Structure 1
Amino acid sequence: MRFSTPQRLLPALLVLLAACNEPSTTKTEQPTTTPAAAPDTTVAVAPPAPAKPDTAAIHNVAAYLAGLPVSRGSDLQELETQPAWQAYAADADKSWTKYHAARTTKIEAWAAKELDSVRAASPTIFYPFSGPDFLNVTTMFPGSQTYVLLGLEPVGTVPSRANLENRKLFPALKESLWSVLNFSFFRTNSMAVNLKSVELDGALPLMLLFAARTQHQVEAVRYVQLLPDGQLAEADSTLIRKPGRKAVPGVEVKLRSASGQAKTLQYFSVDISDGQLGQTQEAALKYVRTLGPLTTYVKSATYLMHKSYFSKVRNLVLERSNFVLQDDSGIAMKYFKPADWQLTYYGTYKRPINLFAKQYQPEMTAAYTDKANPPRPLPFGTGYNWRENDSNLLLARRATPVAE
């Protein structure tokens, strides 16, 4: 049988395709050199940053106490809708507007000129006999990093929700603030009553309020105590509420200013008269000595450091301070040795108010009437003679700075 051409070619094509599909048995020569390693393109991944703590809750308490709006979404927003808080907030805004116009603006302008070099060299401010007065010290020294306040008033705690809802809170706040906003100082007797109430159980609520009203963000609050050797240690609210005679309870508040500067505010409730310091083994003074060179601020201090039985805190200030800014109720002029201190006088010196008439200083009158070195202007009121043109401040600069 004869086959057509395509039929004859089919077997040959099948053989050819089979040959193409066979695996090759020919060995390929491998290069004798080791190829360069491929570049490592792995990107190092940084560990995730720790979550920032939620500081809104504590700051909202401060804002609420100050009569300022709380954060959106805060559980305190519903309390702001109550007529009592709204009336309090409106009244507070008026009072603070008046206060800032009469005092803050003038202090800031004066201090920017007169305390410029002092501020630059004042990371730590010591403010004995302060009570909860963060307001005045931060206005005078807004760029400092640490503020250490001492007073007789109890430490207090962060107000609970029940206390924030208590309508007695607002009258208590207004009464506590009335004298400091109108006269620049707290009335000691009133503070002793107001800061032992259920609504305001100590200095902390007012310190939080002042922080909010001076445009600080409150980031954290912790209760602390001073051990007998002057070391700072943690404490709980039980010790803060009932500290006992030998304990030095305190609180530490972490703040951030409007410009973003981190600050630490500390307050300790302690009697620093010479006799009572033995009860606490001088823990407060030992702690202050660990803080390095100080700038000490004293205002409306009831002339206690004039007296012999406040010699230990007076000596501490004179030994560890590079600068002392005070009114005449601070350290008596006779304790500033001319060889150690350069004194600059501001304002007007008059006799102390009748309550403190015995603390009149003839040396101050002589200094303020020295025509060769007249006092410099003081364009605001401060201290017990609180009216403008009746007040005085003394700036003492140490001749030889304190060593670290």
Structure 2
Amino acid sequence: MYFRTAALRFLPAALLLLSACSESTTKTETTISSTPEETMATTAAAMDSTKSAVPQSAATPRPDRSTAPDTAYAQDVAMFLGGQQPSQRSNLTPLAAQPAWQVFAKDQDKSWDKYRATHTTSMMKWASTELDSVHANSPTIFYPFSGPDFLNVFTMFPTSQTYVLMGLEPVGSVPARASLANPKLFPAVKASLWSVLNFSFFRTNDMAVDLKSVELDGALPLMMLFAARTGNQVTAIRPVQLDATGHLQDASTDTAQAKNPKFVQGVEMKLRGPDGQSKTVYYFSADLSDWKLKANSAPIEFVRSLGPLTTYVKSATYLMHKSYFNQVRRLVLRRSRYILQDDSGIAMKFFQKGAWQFNHYGTYKRPINLFAKHYQPELTAAYRDTTRRPKALPFGTGYNWRQTDSNLLLARRLIPVAE
């Protein structure tokens, strides 16, 4: 996986300095405010100033996606992208018989076997004990700043029914067969998965460049891949959007039709879980900074309409530490019964005293150098508390990705959820 053991100890900082983390983006935004960090996009751009915009290929015609994706085809695409054999009747079966895909499939099996051994098995065992009561009361999971990371949220919360993911990445669509026949597809997918399988977070600017080059145009293809690799079956996919009041609507499937900027674009992915239960996954391409939400509060209104939540936050570039992410931070604190996060989530100073019970896991030292200014003395004190010692965390997660350096906080609400 382009991996060099001798360089392991230098990778976290170097990796992040060269690429944006979970909320990076390559789209440019017009600067309207004199404050340079008004939005998620400008924060990501500051983190990744060495990257240029994703080139748009004029030579490659865009595939026709004017009709809703066939369900069987969508599941076959998910399997194919993950290096798993599509169904025998699929028109992708001839592609899966080619030597290039066979090599790719073997490589993916090896990578996913390693990931299960180093992450999935430990994560699911830990979650089944430490999050047992959370699972019983978490029908809906909110995962802000997620990008396409269905992998980690499902591993942590496998029994939930609804998952709401939000990030800057464009929504994307089910890849056409022509895109899947591109010989550049396999190295692009492999490169896109490299950091999440080795370090648990995405290098999303690199991911965007890699996937754009093979006509995979957003978060959905990787979400489908993760669904297949976690034992879920894709049963339906439909484009959706949020109107100005946060109500969910069908979105046009005609890619030639311009999108209404007043609507927040998204996708709904229906799954059948490994246990046979139905699940719904939403992804919305949304900037959650205060300035953007002031112009369009639809993402906040939609999440608020879902009732009490469990919120999961990981590798979130410390955005909710900042004053201009007040709305989404307030939403999480007011509407969540449980919050599971690493230290890049909500800073401890924002939790109302007496309103939460905290369980700390793993180790907290300080953020990696890129985020050093977000060090929290309150967390250091909590991890040194001899009356309520932190519990072990048997896997690595977040920017401090080594098991010996990772941390998680489980916050349980002690007072009623705010209306």
The normalised TM-score by structure 1 is: 0.84
Matches within 5 A, 1:182-193: 182-193=198-209
Q: Do 2:120 and 2:155's aligned partners in 1 also have CA atoms closer than 8 Å?
A: yes
Aligned-pair CA distance for 1:241:
8.8
Q: Which residue of 1 aligns with 2:318?
A: 303
Tell me which of 64, 73, 93 is aligned to 2:109. Answer: 93
Distance 1:158 1:116, change over 3 A: same
Matches within 5 A, 1:118-267: 118-238=134-254, 243=259, 245-267=261-283
Q: Do 1:348 and 1:389's aligned partners in 2 also have CA atoms closer than 8 Å?
A: yes
Q: Do 1:223 and 1:240's aligned partners in 2 also have CA atoms closer than 8 Å?
A: no
Equivalent position amino acid for 2:229 in 1 = R
Tell me which of 318, 324, 332 is aligned to 1:317. Answer: 332
Aligned-pair CA distance for 1:401:
3.6
Task: Name the CA distance, whole Å, in 1 between partners of 2:189 and 2:303.
Answer: 30
Tell me which of 74, 81, 106 is aligned to 2:90. Answer: 74
Distance 1:247 1:54, change over 3 A: closer
Distance 1:61 1:328, change over 3 A: same
Task: Name the CA distance, whole Å, in 2 between partners of 1:136 and 1:257.
Answer: 15
Aligned-pair CA distance for 1:247:
2.9
Task: Name the CA distance, whole Å, in 1 between partners of 2:187 and 2:414.
Answer: 48
Task: Name the CA distance, whole Å, in 1 between partners of 2:258 and 2:217.
Answer: 12
Task: Name the CA distance, whole Å, in 1 between partners of 2:212 and 2:288.
Answer: 20
Distance 1:196 1:286, change over 3 A: farther
**Structure 2 gap segments, 5+ residues each:** 1-68
Equivalent position amino acid for 2:382 in 1 = A
Secondary structure of 1:356's counterpart equals helix
> Which one is further off, 197-206 or 296-305?
197-206
Q: Do 1:323 and 1:398's aligned partners in 2 also have CA atoms closer than 8 Å?
A: yes
Deviations 1:228-278 (CA, angstroms, capped at 9, x unpaired): 000001112346996464431000000001210000000000111001113
Equivalent position amino acid for 2:328 in 1 = V
**Structure 1 gap segments, 5+ residues each:** 1-52
Distance 1:72 1:87, change over 3 A: same
Task: Name the CA distance, whole Å, in 2 between partners of 1:92 and 1:254.
Answer: 24
Distance 1:282 1:239, change over 3 A: farther
Aligned-pair CA distance for 1:368:
0.5
Task: Name the CA distance, whole Å, in 2 between partners of 1:239 and 1:354.
Answer: 42
Q: CA RMSD in A?
A: 1.7
Matches within 5 A, 1:363-378: 363-378=378-393
Q: Which residue of 2 aligns with 1:345?
A: 360
Q: Do 1:122 and 1:295's aligned partners in 2 also have CA atoms closer than 8 Å?
A: yes
- Check if 1:330 corresponds to 2:364: no
Task: Name the CA distance, whole Å, in 2 between partners of 1:319 and 1:201.
Answer: 34
Aligned-pair CA distance for 1:72:
1.6
Equivalent position amino acid for 2:375 in 1 = Y
Q: Do 1:154 and 1:195's aligned partners in 2 also have CA atoms closer than 8 Å?
A: no
Q: Which residue of 1 aligns with 2:43?
A: none
Distance 1:320 1:170, change over 3 A: same
Deviations 1:55-84 (CA, angstroms, capped at 9, x unpaired): 422211110111101112211111111111
Equivalent position amino acid for 2:124 in 1 = E
Task: Name the CA distance, whole Å, in 2 between partners of 1:240 and 1:109.
Answer: 47
Q: Which residue of 2 aligns with 1:268?
A: 284
Task: Name the CA distance, whole Å, in 1 between partners of 2:255 and 2:156.
Answer: 32
Q: Do 1:154 and 1:196's aligned partners in 2 also have CA atoms closer than 8 Å?
A: no
Q: Do 1:294 and 1:320's aligned partners in 2 also have CA atoms closer than 8 Å?
A: yes
Percent identity reads 67
Equivalent position amino acid for 1:108 in 2 = M
Q: Do 2:239 and 2:250's aligned partners in 1 also have CA atoms closer than 8 Å?
A: yes
Task: Name the CA distance, whole Å, in 2 between partners of 1:318 and 1:229.
Answer: 21
Equivalent position amino acid for 1:359 in 2 = H
Q: Do 1:223 and 1:250's aligned partners in 2 also have CA atoms closer than 8 Å?
A: yes
Q: Which residue of 1 aligns with 2:66?
A: none
Tell me which of 368, 376, 380 is aligned to 1:361. Answer: 376
Task: Name the CA distance, whole Å, in 1 between partners of 2:243 and 2:113.
Answer: 42
Q: Which residue of 2 aligns with 1:102?
A: 118
Task: Name the CA distance, whole Å, in 2 between partners of 1:290 and 1:257.
Answer: 25
Aligned-pair CA distance for 1:206:
0.1
Task: Name the CA distance, whole Å, in 1 between partners of 2:254 and 2:292.
Answer: 23
> Which one is further off, 181-190 or 237-246?
237-246
Q: Do 2:166 and 2:283's aligned partners in 1 also have CA atoms closer than 8 Å?
A: yes
> Which one is further off, 327-336 or 187-196?
187-196
Aligned-pair CA distance for 1:371:
1.4
Distance 1:130 1:376, change over 3 A: same
Equivalent position amino acid for 2:378 in 1 = E
> Which one is further off, 232-241 or 304-313?
232-241
Aligned-pair CA distance for 1:54:
7.4
